[in-house]
Amino acid sequence: MDGADRDEGLPPGADARLAAWVDAHLEEVAADVAAMLRIPSVRGEAEPDAPFGREVRRALDAFLERAHRDGFAVASVPGAAGHVEWGPEGAPIVGVLAHLDVVPAGEGWTRDPFGGAREGDRIYGRGAMDDKGPAVAAYWALKAVREIYGPGRRRVRLIVGGDEESGFECLHRYFAVHEMPELGFTPDASFPLVTAEKGIATLVIEARMDGAGPARLLSLAAGTRPNVVAARGEAVVEVPPAGREAALAALLGGEGPEGTHLSARPEGEDRVRVVAVGRAAHASLPEQGANAAARLLLALARLPGLGEGERAVLDHLGRSGADLTGGALGVAASDAESGPLTANLGTLSLEDGRLRAAFNLRYPVTSSLDELVARCRAALPAGATAAVEGGHAPLRADPRSEIVRTLERVFEAETGRPATHLAIGGGTYARELRQGVAFGPQWPEDEETAHAPDEYLSVGRLARMVAIYARAIAVLAGSAPLP
Ligand SMILES: [Zn+2]
């Protein structure tokens, strides 16, 4: 497909001079991407000068030092974020925001996730698409603008962060010190243009497990993070010895979300250990996973001898974890702009008799979070509580704004395709901007490998990316006219 894509030739609106420049530099761009992929910049232990770990700092420093050697002005909040700047001093700023941290490699790779291997048209490595490849592409785009178009009426800042994957703390630290761009984009989602990002909220439901019945929950744990589908869950229950066979039969007798499995085995005289296994996935696409926490709760709710209050809580949470629309939780919602709400039960814990379940919601841009929380509370069994713990407000870009209209025209000129608008459940840096959207790098027809094993970037796509971003930067900076 990448080959075919390059054979299509340039669309009539593309800038041929820019395309030739990108072709002439493509091998260098590809080598820069591979070099970035060799730094395993997964969030690590905080150190005084490296708040997100040593390797994140190394990636940021390498990126900024390279730009400095190329003659750009650079600045940083050490180990957290930094920028590469070019253009007239004191002028308003166009921001391009990318990140250099990556999610852990995870299982299933057939290449070295931090090897940056080139195989034909592909460069493999964690971060190839998300988001080191696009960060390097944006950097080369800035170099192309400097060489081809020259300065305009705005400054350009390529801002790189080191904590996108775990909460945007990097940008919060950066914007505490540095000016907010007037407008900008982030190459960290999909083409053509992402103008709506659902709201994100983590809703924590708590309830006492009072242990009133002859059967009792002794321990319960599932999942790793609210924004990941729980892939594993485990519980130990206490049952009267005479009721053990009935308990095992009840626990094993039910069903749960497709793709989950459950096992239960006796431990000692009066205990049963229950283990549920499913499949992890990103919380914005929960249908790609299989929720083990929901499976576990639904099984526990069938246990004979539980207190009725406890049973009601386990059953409600289990059904809510299995219903990805949020219907069972009481929060289903949908709009034409951004589609339906999704709900993911990410973690379960039991401490001092208090059960805690964290749901990660991705809610439509027109929904009110307060109203959703009120509806969730109204649906809860007696004694359970719900509270919001963290999240991001929805993003809704104005379709008449300069950033949207400019990127539409640039995309159509450089690709010959219509610049349709997309809505996503993921959260990008665009939310942090006053006027911003996400712009690429994923093409709708390409295989999606971000956060997956064998993540790769095609060099053909990389060339398109540099050209599209360069044209976008040039027009936004006022160095080139609107196509
Ligand atoms: Zn990303």
- The CA-atom distances, in angstroms, between 104 and each of 99, 251, 455 are 14, 34, 12
**Residues 179, 258: one domain?**
no
| Tally of CB atoms within 10 A around 293 | 33
Quote the CA–CA distance of 90 and 155 in Å, as a whole number: 8
Give the residue-averaged pLDDT of 179-190.
97
Mean pLDDT of 272-296: 93
Which of 392, 415, 440 marks a domain boundary? Answer: 392
What is the 188 CA–ligand 1 centroid distance (Å)?
Answer: 5
Residue 5 has a pLDDT of 47
Say yes or no: 353 and 407 in one domain: no
- What's the CATH code of the domain at 247? 3.30.70.360
Identify the three-state secondary structure at position 379: helix
**Entry pTM:** 0.83
My answer on whether 160 and 18 are in the same domain is yes
Same domain for 123 and 48:
yes
Tell me 46's DSSP state: -
Q: How far is the CA of 431 from the centre of ligand 1 (A)?
A: 13
Are 18 and 167 within one domain?
yes
441 CA → ligand 1 middle, Å = 10
User: For residue 252, how far is its CA from the centre of ligand 1 (angstroms)?
Assistant: 40
Contact status, residue 360 vs residue 206, Cβ threshold 8 Å: no
User: Residue 409 is inside which H or E element, if any?
Assistant: helix 402-415
In the predicted model, is pLDDT for residue 18 greater than 80? yes
pLDDT tens profile 24-56: 999 999 999 999 999 999 999 999 999 999 999
* Residue 188 domain flag: yes
Long-range contacts of the stretch 171-174 (C-beta < 8 A, 24+) = 171/81, 171/97, 171/429, 171/432, 173/51, 173/77, 173/80, 173/81, 174/77, 174/80, 174/81, 174/82, 174/83
**Same-domain check for residues 165 and 114:** yes
- Is 101 considered catalytic here? yes
Based on the fold, state whether residues 234 and 365 are members of the same structural domain: yes
Q: Is residue 131 part of a domain?
A: yes
**Does residue 424 sit in the same domain as residue 454?**
yes
Looking at residue 392, its pLDDT comes to 86
What confidence score (pLDDT) does residue 367 get? 96
In this prediction, residue 1 carries a pLDDT of 40
Beta bridge partners of 388: 203
221 alpha carbon – ligand 1 mean position (Å)? 29
Report yes or no on 482 lying in a domain.
Answer: no
Distance CA 221, CA 434 (A): 40
Q: Quick one: pLDDT at residue 4? A: 40
Q: Is residue 205 part of a domain?
A: yes
Higher pLDDT, 1 or 80: 80
Confidence of residue 426 (pLDDT cuts 50, 70, 90): confident
Domain end residue (candidates: 360, 392, 424): 392
pLDDT in tens, 68-118: 999 999 999 999 999 999 999 999 999 999 999 998 887 789 999 999 999
- pLDDT tens string 357-379: 999 999 999 999 999 999 999 99
* 387 strand-pairing partners: 204
Whether residue 207 sits in one domain with residue 337: yes
Q: How far is residue 213's CA from residue 244's CA, in Å, rounded to a whole number? A: 14
| pLDDT tier at 8, thresholds 50, 70, 90 | low
Contact call for residues 208 and 383 (beta carbons, < 8 A): yes
Ligand 1 centre to CA of 290 (Å) is 23
Ligand 1 centroid–CA 307 distance in Å is: 45
What is the distance in A from the centroid of ligand 1 to the CA of 11?
A: 29
Tell me how far apart the alpha carbons of residues 244 and 265 are, in angstroms, rounded to a whole number. Answer: 10
- Angle at alpha carbon of residue 103, lines to 387 and 165, rounded to 5°: 45
Question: Is 55 within a domain?
Answer: yes
Beta-sheet pairing, 334-335 with 339-340: antiparallel
Res. 427 pLDDT band, cuts 50 70 90? confident
Residue among 277, 118, 304, 306 nearest 212 (CA):
306
CA of 130 to the centre of ligand 1 (A): 4
Q: Which of 2, 85, 101, 121 is catalytic?
A: 101
Ligand 1 centroid to residue 98 C-alpha, Å:
8
- CA–centroid distance, 163 to ligand 1, in Å, is 10
Ligand 1 mean position, distance from CA 357 (Å)? 26
Residues 315 and 337 in one domain: yes
Task: Go through 2-21 and write b for each residue having 16 or more CB atoms within 10 A of its CB, e for each that does not.
Answer: beebbeeeeeeebbeebbeb
Residues 232 and 124 in one domain: no
Rounded Cα distance, 131 and 467, in Å: 17
Within a domain: 413: yes
Ion ligand 1 neighbours (CB, 5 A) are 130-131, 188
- The residue whose two tokens read 């594993």 is 232
Residues 223, 213 within the same domain: yes
Report how many domains make up the chain.
2
- What range does the domain containing 323 cover? 199-392
Question: CATH number for the domain including 139?
Answer: 3.40.630.10
Give the residue from 392, 411, 443 where a domain finishes.
392
| Upstream peptide bond of 270 is cis (omega within 30 degrees of 0) | no
Q: Which of 164, 182, 188, 408 is catalytic?
A: 164
pLDDT at 239 over 60: yes
Asked whether residue 438 is assigned to any structural domain, the reply reads: yes
On whether the CB atoms of residues 215 and 305 are closer than 8 A, the answer is yes
483 occurs within a structural domain: no
Cβ(396)–Cβ(195) under 8 Å?
yes
